[in-house]
Amino acid sequence: MAAETETLVVIEDDPHISDLMALYLRRDGFRVLQHDDGEVGVAAVEREHPALVIVDIGLPGAIDGFDVCRRLRNGASGEPVPVLILSARDDEIDRILGLELGADDYVTKPFSPRELVARVRAIIRRSSPAPATAPLVLVFGTVAIDTGRREARVAGTQVALTTREFDLVVYLGEHPGLALSRRQLLDGVWGSDWYGDERTVDVHVGQLRKKLGPDLPLATVWGVGYRMG
C-alpha cells in the first residue's frame, strides 16, 4: 500500500479513463488529484509536489502532454518529479520523444488498470531516496558526477539530468570496464519489474552523450550493450 502522504496528479481529459485510474490508485492508498487541462495540471504539480504525475499526450487546450513534460523538466515544479505518459498511439517516435523529455514510463491505451498501478508503484519506489551512504564523486575528464548531491557538472557548469539519466550514468560509472547488456542496465536502473522496451536504454544513453559531451567515456559494445571506460 502507498503511504497516505503520497499524492499523484492525473492529467487526463477523458473522464472515464481518469476516473478509472483514480479508482484503482485510491484503492492502493494514493491521494489522487484529477485535472483535464495541461495548464491547470502543471499548476497543481507546482502547488502539491506530488510523488508522480500521470499525463495524457493528447490533451486539449494550449498545451499537450509533451508540453507538460517540458515544463516539468524545465523546473516548473521546483524539483524533478517522476512522469508517466499515457497515449492512444504506440508510435516509436512518440515513445522516444516522451523519454527524451524525461518521462519515466510510457503506457499506451487501452491498458490494464492493475498494470498501471504496478508501474506507478515501481517508478515511485525507484525514485525514492536511497539509504544514506558515503557520497561518491565519479570523474571522467571534465565530467563530474556527485552522487551525494545528485549533481552533474561539465567543466564546472551544472548540467540538468533527469532522474533516470542520472541513475544510469551512476550505475555505469560504478561498474567501470564492464560491458553491460541493455537488460542488465534495465534491471539495475529501472528495476527488474519494469515493463518497457530495451530501446529505452538507447534513448537515455543518447541523452547522456549529448548533455555530458565527449569526455564521458561511454562506449557502445556492439551486440551487447554499453561500457563506461
Q: Say what the pLDDT of residue 130 is.
A: 56
What band does 58 get if pLDDT is binned at 50, 70 and 90? confident
Within 10 A of 81 (CB to CB), how many other CB atoms are there?
Answer: 22
Residue linked to cell 557520497: 135
Mean per-residue pLDDT for 12-28?
94
What band does 88 get if pLDDT is binned at 50, 70 and 90? confident
Q: Say what the pLDDT of residue 19 is.
A: 96
Please state which of the ranges 53-57, 102-106, 173-177, 189-193 shows the lowest mean pLDDT: 189-193
Residue linked to cell 560509472: 173
How far is Cα 145 from Cα 160, in angstroms, rounded to an integer? 11
Which neighbouring-strand residues pair with 84? 54, 105
Is residue 65 a contact partner of residue 73, using CB atoms and an 8 Å limit?
no
Please say if the pLDDT value at position 181 is more than 70: yes
Residue 209 C-beta-side C-alpha neighbours within 13 Å:
13
Bond from prior residue into 176 cis (ω within 30 degrees of 0): no
How far is Cα 209 from Cα 109, in angstroms, rounded to an integer? 32
Question: How do residues 125-141 score in pLDDT, each as one tens digit?
Answer: 877 665 555 568 899 98
What band does 1 get if pLDDT is binned at 50, 70 and 90? very low
What integer best gives the mean pLDDT of the chain? 86
Please say if the pLDDT value at position 2 is more than 60: no
The b-or-e profile of 104-131 (16+ CB within 10 A means b, else e) is bbbbeeeeebeebbebbbbbbebbeeee
User: Mind listing the domains of the chain with CATH numbers?
Assistant: 7-127 (3.40.50.2300), 137-228 (1.10.10.10)
CA-angle at 32, arms to 122 and 92, nearest 5°: 50
